[in-house]
Amino acid sequence: MSSYWSDFVKHLEPYSPGEQPQINNITKLNTNENPYGPSPAVINAISEAADDRLRLYPPPEAEQLKNTIANYFDLSAAQIFVGNGSDEVLAHVFNGLLSHPDKGPLLFPDISYSFYPVFCQLYGINYEKIPLADDFSVNLDQYPSNNGGIIFPNPNAPTGLLLGLEAIENLLQKNTNSVVVVDEAYIDFGGQTAASLINRYDNLLVVQTMSKSRSLAGMRVGYAMGSEHLIEGLNRIKNSFNSYPLGHLQIAAAIAAFNDEQYFKNTSQQVIAERERVVDELESLGFEVLPSKANFILAQHPTNAANELADSLREKGIIVRYFAKPRIDQFLRITIGTESQNSLLIDSLKQLL
Ligand SMILES: *Cc1c(COP(=O)(O)O)cnc(C)c1O
């Protein structure tokens, strides 16, 4: 059969996200969404924005949202870039700031967010994966300075391990000729953001999302923070691709989420407390659990194969994530749910083991 696809499309291997089953009575612990809904103030803001004004294009630069984010992080609006989920922001980052065929390869950890190699393929970026240490930590000392850029999640995904700000600052002090991107999708569950280093390192870009700690995965809002020069580069790409990445409702929801700090703090705190409880319970069932500062854990049982456990949990209506990849194929990645979801998970594992 002849194909209408370009050669480029024929050779693309897209990212495959965790499944989103459209069933209600399922315990969904597979894609690191927040188990608590967004703040009631966010729902209000969306309803109030849903009117006749939807016939108009949204503000292309989303100034009000940029101001909100800038105030929150003590930066200026010119240091903020916003996009349709941080995956879209990251796509522009790879294209606009990490593609340097004249320099060395782009560097990222061998066990990390599996979208990174997909972006590299999409934009033809040469990359090299740097192995995690034996304890699964990211060792930034091993990243050679001859590179076209460095990107890593902090905490790392899917391990959950966190790097401290000193480690990141050490890297920035020696790596001055390429962009360093810290993907902070999970930073609010126990880490310290690198945003405070932005005014001292003009090659640092910090990317965050509203999908995890701010309970808005369904809204699609992400942002990047960095020097005006980096942000201007991203704006050039965005304005060559889609001038209006965020609609009125997304902007209203994101601003309201930032303005309800108390709700954000309470729900993040609940997730953290539940994570500690789940870790204790799994360890008493014999699991080895990597030390996580994210809203998920990576856990391995000494005798039960991870893929079989995942299948058995699924039969009980609980979905967790399994990666058939070297070094982590004996682990399950489990998103921290509500108290009752987590208890259901633990009770089910007790029956299965
Ligand atoms: C979830 C996640 C993202 C993407 O978040 P969206 O804003 O929903 O696109 C980016 N990076 C990492 C490491 C993630 O886990």
* Distance from C-alpha of 195 to C-alpha of 154, rounded to nearest angstrom: 12
- Quick check: 213 and 188 in contact, CB under 8 A? yes
Distance 303 CA to ligand 1 centre (A): 32
**Between residues 3 and 212, which one has the greater pLDDT?**
212
Distance 118 CA to ligand 1 centre (A): 14
* Residue whose CA is at the smallest distance from ligand 1 atom 12: 185
Distance 87 CA to ligand 1 centre (A): 6
Instruction: State what percent of residues in the chain have pLDDT above 90.
Output: 96
Query: Does 24 score more than 80 pLDDT?
Result: no
Provide mean pLDDT across the span 135-153. Answer: 97
What pLDDT sits at residue 209?
98
Ligand 1 test: best mutation among 113, 161, 162, 335, most atoms within 8 Å of CB?
Answer: 113
What pLDDT sits at residue 287?
98
Return phi, psi of residue 144, to 5°: -65, 150
Would you place residue 337 in the very low, low, confident or very high pLDDT band (cuts 50, 70, 90)?
very high
What pLDDT sits at residue 228?
98
Distance 86 CA to ligand 1 centre (A): 6
Distance 153 CA to ligand 1 centre (A): 9
Beta bridge partners of 182: 152, 206
What pLDDT sits at residue 1?
60
Dmax of the chain from CA atoms? 60
Distance 159 CA to ligand 1 centre (A): 14
Tokens of 63: 């100034």
Rounded alpha-carbon distances, angstroms, from residue 178 to 100, 104, 149, 181: 9, 10, 5, 10
Provide mean pLDDT across the span 260-269. Answer: 98
Q: Where are the domains of the chain?
A: 17-38+262-352, 40-259
Q: What is the pLDDT of residues 98-127, one digit of tens each?
A: 999 999 999 999 999 999 999 999 999 999
Ligand 1 test: best mutation among 87, 112, 138, 162, most atoms within 8 Å of CB?
Answer: 87
Ligand 1 test: best mutation among 211, 216, 223, 335, most atoms within 8 Å of CB?
Answer: 211
Would you place residue 88 in the very low, low, confident or very high pLDDT band (cuts 50, 70, 90)?
very high
Return phi, psi of residue 96, to 5°: -95, -25
pTM of the model: 0.97
3-class secondary structure, 353? coil
Return phi, psi of residue 226, to 5°: -175, -170
- Quick check: 301 and 219 in contact, CB under 8 A? no
- Rounded-to-5 percentages of helix, strand, coil across the chain: 40, 15, 45
Residues within a 6 A CB radius of ligand 1: 85-87, 113, 153, 157, 183, 185, 209, 211, 217, 222
CATH homologous superfamily for 17-38+262-352? Answer: Aspartate Aminotransferase, domain 1 (3.90.1150.10)
**Ramachandran area for residue 199 (φ above 0: left; ψ -120 to 50: alpha; else beta):** alpha
What pLDDT sits at residue 20?
84
Distance 22 CA to ligand 1 centre (A): 21
Q: What is the pLDDT of residues 176-225, one digit of tens each?
A: 999 999 999 999 999 999 999 999 999 999 999 999 999 999 999 999 99
* Residue whose CA is at the smallest distance from ligand 1 atom 15: 185
H/E run at residue 127: strand 127-130
* CATH of the domain spanning 40-259, picked from 3.20.20.70, 3.30.565.10, 3.40.190.10, 3.40.640.10: 3.40.640.10
What pLDDT sits at residue 219?
98
- Quick check: 81 and 235 in contact, CB under 8 A? yes
